[in-house]
Amino acid sequence: MIQVQDLVKTYNGKVQAVKGVSFQVAPGEIFGFLGPNGAGKTTTVRILSGLMDPSSGTATVAGVQIPGDRQQLHRLIGVLFENSYLYETMTGKELLLFFCDLYRQPRKLVDELLELVEMTPKANELIKKYSKGMKQRLAIARALLHGPDILVMDEPFTGLDPTMVIELRDSIKRLKGSGLTILLSSHDLHEVNNICDSVVFIKAGKVVNKESVAECHRTMDVQFTILNPTPSILSCLDGYAVIDRSDDGHTIVVKMEKDEVQARLSELVKAGGLVQEVRLLERSVEDLYSELIMEDGR
Amino acid sequence: MNELFVLMKKDLRLLISESYFPIVILAIVALSGVAAFSAATDYSFFIQDPPMTLSIADKELKQLMCLLDFWKMVIPIEVLILLMVSSLTLSMEKENGMLRFILAYGKNRSLIFISKSLVVAMVSLIAVLIPALAFLLGIYTMGQEVLIDAGLMLASAAFPLLIMLSVSMLGILISSLSKKRHTAVIIAVMAFLVITGAYTSALEGGMIDASLEYHQEHIDQFMTNADARMLFPEDKKLMLLLNPLLMQEGLLHVLNLTGGEMNLAYVEAFAFYDEATDASIGIIMASSLFLMGYVSFMRYGKR
């Protein structure tokens, strides 16, 4: 649904914000675009939303080439920014009706979308009285008004309190399964972990790694505490990446797939290993972030 | 539904819901009320304590002169109000990012600009109709007979309307050039000071220059309007030609107050051009400012 190839963006011919970013997003996927502030996320999102052209490289969004026909692109994508971009002196319903008329969509869609983002009870209140979370949910409804195939969200959780985050997350989750592809740019690791199917990490304008969340959850760090860690016993763990090892050699942490743990434990015991403890250390997006972004920077 | 209609509906809704809008309407109503009261009082005193026996024609003439004074009191302040209101139209949406947001999604730039201009033009119309109504109401509430017929009243409102349209288009031009609303309002106020200051100084300075030149050769004679027109310095004439307040002289024509010996002593009775030329200048000025604003807006965000 989205294919990005060697995307580069240079501002004023000097500052390179994006340095050859490539990734793919499958249809119907909720895709997390993660990175610290200043990593180049917003620039990439703006390019993919047709709000600016790349300096070089290409992207295809819902079959539309970038740079290319912006109007066609805007018909196929909905965009939600950190700033909700709403007319604050209108009511939520008035705003949606305005955009509905502007996009020439049936007006009954407004009620459906208000229901989807759970804003029906507040529909007739002025937007300036809404909380930031409510504004974001209304902005989602507005972004979906013209029936886009892709929803691009840039830092939607920024500035929200925990309740608002939960409400917004629920709204996004409800969109899952509707066939909509979602590109979610964020630095909120916890929310990305909760919502996204795949993530790409970007740092200093470059993609550091791409791994699906399912893949991330399939592998885990396993901590074996072995009382007699002889080389022949430890050879059962050969071939696995060693994440950590205690100085006395009794404790070793290796990375392996979940369904391999039982078999390796049996092998260790068969080889005469006295296994005192096995701890499964689940890897989250936070761990990946820590490995890819923070460790690299140290 | 027509896109222009949708945009206009939105722009009107936004304008009405802005916190400054009731203040603007209140200011126009209050200004109209004060000016109408002043004009009506002037007329009433004249009728109650006449310097001579008054015919209906004399009373009508006095009422027309009161109407002229009334518009001259209302116009400058309304110019300021309209400049400020129109300067906010685009700059506010620029500042909160909504304009860029809508433009980014392929919406017709021309229609967005036309919609804003039409809404401001509607405000201009309201800003002229309220005072016109207030004047008639003022005369009526003073227990006097209204001698100006509706057609003439409406015709007299045409030139103030042209002034309001011109300054509104100037306000939109300022708005399309400004990124922040405060900047736009400050520029609008400065534009107002320049317009009023330049008009007064050019007209009065030009008349003094013309008069000095005239009296070098014609001692102890009155300078006629024709003489003044001929001797008026060209640079000051150009300054006036570029000033929307010049269209005030159209009022003199409509109210038939330009000719005759009676008015020769008044600078206000002096007019450079005839009614049609004044109207053409107004239309050209409003259209040019509209086009300049349009061109500026079409370039917005494309750099």
Rounded CA-CA distance A6/A109 in Å is 38
- Average pLDDT score, chain A: 84
Nearest one of B27, B293, B25 to B172, comparing CA atoms: B293
Contact by Cβ (8 Å): A203, A36: yes
Phi, psi of A178 (to 5 degrees): -85, 0
Q: Taking a C-beta distance cutoff of 8 angstroms, is the pair A18, A43 a contact?
A: yes
Q: B230-281, pLDDT tens digit by residue? A: 899 999 999 999 999 999 888 888 888 765 544 433 445 678 888 899 999 9
Q: Name the A residues in 59-98 with CB < 8 Å from any B CB.
A: 70-71, 74-75, 83, 85-90, 94, 98
Nearest residue on chain A to B8, judged by CA atoms?
A98
Taking contacts as CB-CB distances below 8 angstroms, the residues of chain B near A101 are 1, 6, 9
Phi first, then psi, for residue A25 (nearest 5°) are -125, 125
Minimal Cβ distance to A74: which of B14, B98, B106: B106
Q: Which residues contact B261 (CB under 8 A, 6 or more apart)?
A: none
Q: What predicted TM-score, i.e. pTM, was given to this entire model? A: 0.78
Q: Model confidence over B63-120: pLDDT tens digits? A: 888 999 999 999 999 999 999 999 999 998 888 888 888 887 667 889 999 999 999 9
Q: Which of B22, B167, B16, B161 is nearest to B82 (CA)?
A: B167
Given strand A2-11, what is the order of strands in its sheet? A15-25, A2-11, A56-61, A64-66
Q: What percent of chain B has pLDDT over 70?
A: 94
Tens-place pLDDT, residues A70-99: 778 888 888 888 777 899 889 999 999 999
Distance CA A277, CA B1 (A): 71
- pLDDT grade, residue A296 (50/70/90)? low
Alpha-carbon span A114 to A142, nearest angstrom: 9
**How many other C-beta atoms can be found within 10 angstroms of the C-beta atom of residue A150?**
23
Evaluate the CA torsion angle B45, B51, B54, B59 in order and state its sign: negative
What is the predicted pLDDT for the residue at A217? Answer: 65
pLDDT at residue number A298: 43
Query: In this structure, what token pair is assigned to residue B50?
Result: 């006449």
Is there a contact between B1 and A90 if contact means CB atoms under 8 Å apart? no
The residue with greater pLDDT, B198 or A244, is B198
- Of A71-75, A103-107, A206-210, B204-208, the one with minimum mean pLDDT is A206-210
Read off the amino acid at residue A255.
K
Among A148-152, B37-41, B182-186, B221-225, the least confident range: B221-225
DSSP B201-217: HHHHHHHHHHHHHHHHH
ipTM value, please give it: 0.79
Question: Which helix or strand (DSSP H or E) is residue A135 part of?
Answer: helix A132-144
Touching check for A49 and chain B: CB below 8 Å? yes
> For residue B296, what pLDDT is reported?
93
CA B3 to CA B13: how far, in whole Å? 15
